[in-house]
A and B are shown apart, each in its own frame.
Chain A
Amino acid sequence: MSVIFEAELKKLRSRFMEMGIDASEQLYQATKAFIDHDNELAKHVLNRDQDINDEEVSLEKRALKVMALQQPLASDFREIISILKASNDVERIGDYTTHIARATVNLNQVHHVPAIEKEISQMTELVRQMLEKVMDAYANNDEQAAYEVANQDLEVDVIYVRQQKAILAGMMANHDRIPAYETYMGVIRNLERAGDHIVNLAEWIIYIASGKLVELNPGKTDPSLVKQRLVKTDN
């Protein structure tokens, strides 16, 4: 590997890691703001949304330049393509954190439903852990850890479906709290989508490590898995 290419790849890796850490930090702050009803923190998250978008554009430019000028092959090629694709997933996770922060601000103008919020806080904790774990898996080139993270998404999907039902039931029973329930619905949807993008990140890590392109989203590939889990947890 040429020294120039080695230096470029190192920079690309560290920028991608920084972007992942920033998204993880944003997710932490957005969900904390949501759970603690902290408007100031939510506004801070909203102000930082552009940072991740800028990081993605700069990372893409850098990756395209390395592809065009250094002609990487084999595992180097896989890694750069993966960073290029995965940076888009990280950016989308950043978008979802913004939506959650916006929901926090909206929610503070309406009645809360503490029981639902407690459930949502478990979901946020799980998604946050998954994001941290998937970035660790990338840093350590750990294919096994990537598979484990992808499997955790099934749990996110189960919570999502369960919460969806609870929110709909709450809407039917408490018409005066519909605006709050609508916001909760949006938040769990954002968390569920963030989980899907974390699965995409896991897939790219597996591609880097093994060259295999895999589809891992268990809840999407086999919806019956979510139903089976729901039956199990409801009993």
Chain B
Amino acid sequence: MNEIALAVQNVAVAYGEKPVVTDVNMEFPAHQITALIGASGSGKSTLLRSLNRMNDEIATVTGQINFHGVDINRPETNVYRVRQQIGMVFQQPTPFPMSIYENVIYGLRLRGEKDRTVLDQRVEASLKQAALWEEVKDRLQTSAQALSGGQQQRLCIARTLATQPEIILMDEPTSALDPISTNQIEATLAQLKEQFTIIIVTHNMQQASRISDWTAYFEQGKLVEFKPTDQLFMNPSEQRTADYLSGKFG
């Protein structure tokens, strides 16, 4: 396994009294794409949102989430700094009602960055990394909401990249997109993993098999199996994983 980007130890998540994720232990390899798969309600998205503390307001997350030797699940952790390092891209593209340029540098502005040269460079670099630069470079000041769904999602990826995170979390980032836009995003992810660690929740098993290096299968809040993708899809150890993959369950 590569260097570990993020290690989860005994993580459990509960909404009030109701446990939704139970005792998860896993290590996410750096510069790889890890896919979290499982039926609805299996806890995969809940776990993903816990990884950059996005469940703080709505759930109780216990256990350790170790990032560079620090447990970021401790109450004293600065969650804003965590989210600069561990960014999130959501299911629905969420462009802010402002220009393409301003969307990309939104996180940098929050951080107080004012140097125009830095901002310009970061916009160009992030849009190039998200494979959107060629399509929008001549209209950076136009509204982001005029972009197509696929372009908006790549803009959201660029916005996440602009803060130069180490890890990008993605919650079904292509489920609202057509197959061509999906293909573009998948191609983008294949490039991005050279520089970033990607953890993606997807309902689409084929997408997990196509793009990920590692896959984790969740069922009823528990991690059933976590393996290199080719091994999990071609020769799962657990019968429950095999049943889910072959459509006998879920």
Residues on A close to B: CB < 8 A? 2-5, 64-65, 68-71
Contact = CB atoms under 8 A, between A and B. Distances in A.
Interface stretch (B82-90, B117-125, B218-226, B228-236): B228-236
Contact of B190 (A3, A65, A70): A3
A68 B206 CA distance: 9
B77 interface: no
A5 B234 contact: no
A64 B230 CA distance: 10
A5 B210 CA distance: 8
Nearest to A71: B206
Contact of B230 (A3, A4, A68): A68
Interface in B189-228: 190, 206, 209-211
B210 A4 contact: yes
B187 A70 contact: no
A69 B190 contact: no
B209 A70 contact: yes
Given A2-B187, A4-B210, A64-B234, 7 more contacts: A2-B210, A3-B186, A3-B187, A5-B210, A65-B230, A68-B209, A71-B210
B200 to A, nearest CB: 14
B230 A2 contact: no
Contact of A70 (B183, B210, B234): B210
Contacts of B211: 2, 4
Contacts of A65: 230, 234
23 contacts: A2-B186, A2-B187, A2-B190, A2-B211, A3-B186, A3-B187, A3-B190, A4-B187, A4-B210, A4-B211, A64-B234, A68-B209, A68-B230, A68-B233, A68-B234, A69-B210, A69-B229, A69-B233, A69-B234, A70-B209, A70-B210, A71-B206, A71-B209
A216 B65 CA distance: 63
A20 B187 CA distance: 31
A2 B209 contact: no
Interface of A is mostly: helix
Interface in B72-88: none
A200 to B, nearest CB: 27
A3 B191 CA distance: 10
A68 B231 CA distance: 10
Contacts of A2: 183, 186-187, 190, 210-211
Interface in B143-197: 183, 186-187, 190
Contact of A4 (B186, B206, B233, B234): B186
A143 B234 CA distance: 33
A64 B209 CA distance: 13
A69 to B, nearest CB: 4
Contacts of B187: 2-4
Nearest to A8: B210
A3 B193 CA distance: 14
A188 B233 CA distance: 45
A191 to B, nearest CB: 38
B241 to A, nearest CB: 14
A65 B229 CA distance: 10
B234 to A, nearest CB: 5
Contacts of A3: 186-187, 190
Q: Nearest 3 CB-CB pairs, A to B?
A: A69-B209, A3-B187, A68-B234
Nearest to A68: B234
A69 B212 CA distance: 10
A76 to B, nearest CB: 13
Contacts of B209: 68-71
Contacts of A4: 186-187, 190, 210-211
A90 B211 CA distance: 31
A219 to B, nearest CB: 40
A185 B65 CA distance: 72
A69 B235 CA distance: 12
B213 to A, nearest CB: 11
A137 B209 CA distance: 32
A37 to B, nearest CB: 48
A70 B229 CA distance: 11
Nearest to A7: B190
A64 B234 CA distance: 9
Contacts of A70: 209-210
B231 to A, nearest CB: 10
Contacts of A64: 234
A68 B186 CA distance: 18
